[in-house]
C-alpha cells in the first residue's frame, strides 16, 4: 500500500486559498462514517471550521449516525432527504459550507462493493462535481492482503490520495 501511494507519509493537504474538500471512500463497514467524525473533531481542535456532509443515502441510519457524531463533536452536518442524488448532496454541501464560512467539508460517501459499477460511477461523478483536494480510502485493518487489491481498484476509479486504516485494535490481524 505504501508503494502504491508513493512510498512516503504525508499529511492531509489543506487548501491555502479557501475551502478544503475531503472525500471518504471505501467498502461497506470499513468505518468511513466514524472516520468522518474523527477527522472533523481533529480539524476542529486545530482551529478549523469543518462541515460533515451525509452523502450515504443507501445504508439505513447512515445519516443518523453522522448526525449523532456531529452532535458529539459539535460539528454541523449537511443532509438532504435519502431520495436525493449523492452528487447533488456533495455539491450543495460545498456551496452551503462556503456560505457559512466553513473551511473544510468532509464527504461521507456510501460504502460499496468495488464490483458495483453504478456506485463506482457515483464516486467519479462526485469527484468531477466538487473536485476534492483529498480522496481518502478507508480500509478495515483486518482485511489483510486484500487491501492492496481494494486500493488498486479505488485508485483506478477515484485516484485516491491517501489511506486511513481503521479497527487496528480489533483483532490480532489488525494489531
Query: 25-34, 60-69, 98-107, 155-164 — which is least confidently predicted?
Result: 155-164
Considering only residues 142 and 9, tell me which one the structure prediction assigns the higher pLDDT.
142
Query: 92 or 8, which is more confident?
Result: 92
Q: If residue 38 lies in a helix (H) or strand (E), which one and from where to where?
A: helix 32-45
Task: Place 26 in a pLDDT band, splitting at 50, 70 and 90.
Answer: very high
pLDDT category at 152 given cuts 50, 70, 90 is: confident
Instruction: Please state the separation of Cα 49 from the chain's center in Å.
Output: 17
pLDDT digits (tens, 9 = 90+) for 11-24: 888 888 789 999 99
Strand stretches in the chain, DSSP E:
20-26, 50-55, 77-78, 104-109, 134-140, 162-166
**pLDDT at residue 5 in the model:** 59
Residue 135 has pLDDT above 50, yes or no: yes
Mean pLDDT rounded to a whole number for the chain: 89
The arithmetic mean of pLDDT across residues 52-56, rounded, is 97
- pLDDT band at residue 172, thresholds of 50, 70 and 90? low
The answer on pLDDT for 149 being more than 50 is yes
User: What pLDDT score does 17 carry?
Assistant: 79
Find residue 55's DSSP bridge partners. 109
Residue 113 has pLDDT above 80, yes or no: no
How many whole angstroms separate alpha carbon 47 and alpha carbon 131?
23
Give kind and range of the element (H or E) at residue 26: strand 20-26
Checking if the pLDDT of 175 tops 70, the result is no
Q: Could you tell me which residues come within 8 angstroms of residue 54 by beta carbon, excluding any fewer than 6 positions away?
A: 62, 63, 66, 67, 77, 78, 79, 80, 89, 108
Amino acid at each position: 500500500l505504501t508503494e502504491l501511494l508513493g512510498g512516503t507519509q504525508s499529511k492531509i493537504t489543506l487548501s491555502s486559498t479557501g475551502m478544503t474538500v475531503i472525500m471518504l471512500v471505501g467498502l461497506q463497514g470499513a468505518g468511513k462514517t466514524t472516520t468522518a467524525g474523527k477527522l472533523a473533531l481533529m480539524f476542529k481542535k486545530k482551529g478549523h471550521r469543518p462541515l460533515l456532509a451525509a452523502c450515504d443515502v443507501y445504508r439505513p441510519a447512515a445519516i443518523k449516525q453522522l448526525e449523532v457524531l456531529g452532535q458529539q463533536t459539535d460539528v454541523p452536518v449537511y443532509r438532504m432527504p435519502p431520495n436525493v442524488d449523492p452528487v447533488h448532496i456533495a455539491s450543495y454541501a460545498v456551496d452551503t459550507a462556503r456560505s457559512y464560512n466553513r473551511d473544510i467539508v468532509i464527504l461521507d460517501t456510501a460504502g460499496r462493493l468495488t464490483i458495483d459499477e453504478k456506485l463506482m460511477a457515483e464516486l467519479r461523478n462526485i469527484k468531477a462535481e466538487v473536485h476534492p483536494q483529498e480522496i481518502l480510502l478507508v480500509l478495515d485493518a483486518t482485511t489483510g492482503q486484500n487491501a492492496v487489491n481494494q486500493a488498486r481498484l479505488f485508485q483506478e476509479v477515484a485516484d485516491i490520495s491517501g489511506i486511513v486504516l481503521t479497527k487496528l485494535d480489533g483483532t490480532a490481524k489488525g494489531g
